[in-house]
């Protein structure tokens, strides 16, 4: 696991909240601390949606970052910077399968519980930490190493 310090904070935040930087991810959870704290559980609530809407999104357990970032941006925007925030974003199952195949990693995609990027901001410092969750223990950490490298390359313009 690596910690990627983001030096180009303003550019990163613009692409995170307005651009499409993490649009292929789902929002697993988050916390935003300003004058009060907001906590987010990205778990989709089926009863909120009508049947047609649910049919379109039911393959995912969590809400897409793409659909939720505007709401979060509306909380953050203003003259004062948040005291802190933490967002745990998770790659979609399809993208996990593509990642494993692209790097020819010897693992069954069904054994991967998730590929994550944790976005932390506190005291003016913005850090991204890639993470892997597996359903079973394995000695080979090629997946974790490749995910760390992928995220470092993906975020290199902000470092």
Comparing 57 with 132, the larger pLDDT belongs to 132
Tell me which DSSP letter residue 136 carries.
S
pLDDT at 53: 81
Measure the CA–CA gap between 157 and 118, rounded to whole angstroms: 18
pLDDT in tens, 7-51: 999 999 999 999 999 999 999 999 999 999 999 999 988 888 888
Q: How many domains does the chain have?
A: 1
Q: What is the pTM of this model?
A: 0.90
What is the residue range of 139's domain?
4-158
- Torsion of the alpha carbons at 120, 122, 127 and 129, rounded to the nearest 10: -40
């Amino acid at each position: 696991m690596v910690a990627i310090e983001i030096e180009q904070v303003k550019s990163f935040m613009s692409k995170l909240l307005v651009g499409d930087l993490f649009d292929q991810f789902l929002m697993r959870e988050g916390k935003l601390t300003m004058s009060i704290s907001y906590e987010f559980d990205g778990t989709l609530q089926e009863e909120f949606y009508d049947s047609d809407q649910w049919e379109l999104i039911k393959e995912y357990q969590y809400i897409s970052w793409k659909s939720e970032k505007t709401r979060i941006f509306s909380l953050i925007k203003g003259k004062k910077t948040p005291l802190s925030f933490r967002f745990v974003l998770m790659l979609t199952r399809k993208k996990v399968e593509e990642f494993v195949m692209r790097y020819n990693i010897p693992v069954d995609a069904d054994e991967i519980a998730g590929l994550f990027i944790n976005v932390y901001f506190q005291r003016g410092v913005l850090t991204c930490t890639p993470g892997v969750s597996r359903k079973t223990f394995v000695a080979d950490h090629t997946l974790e190493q490749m995910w760390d490298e992928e995220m470092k390359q993906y975020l290199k313009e902000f470092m």
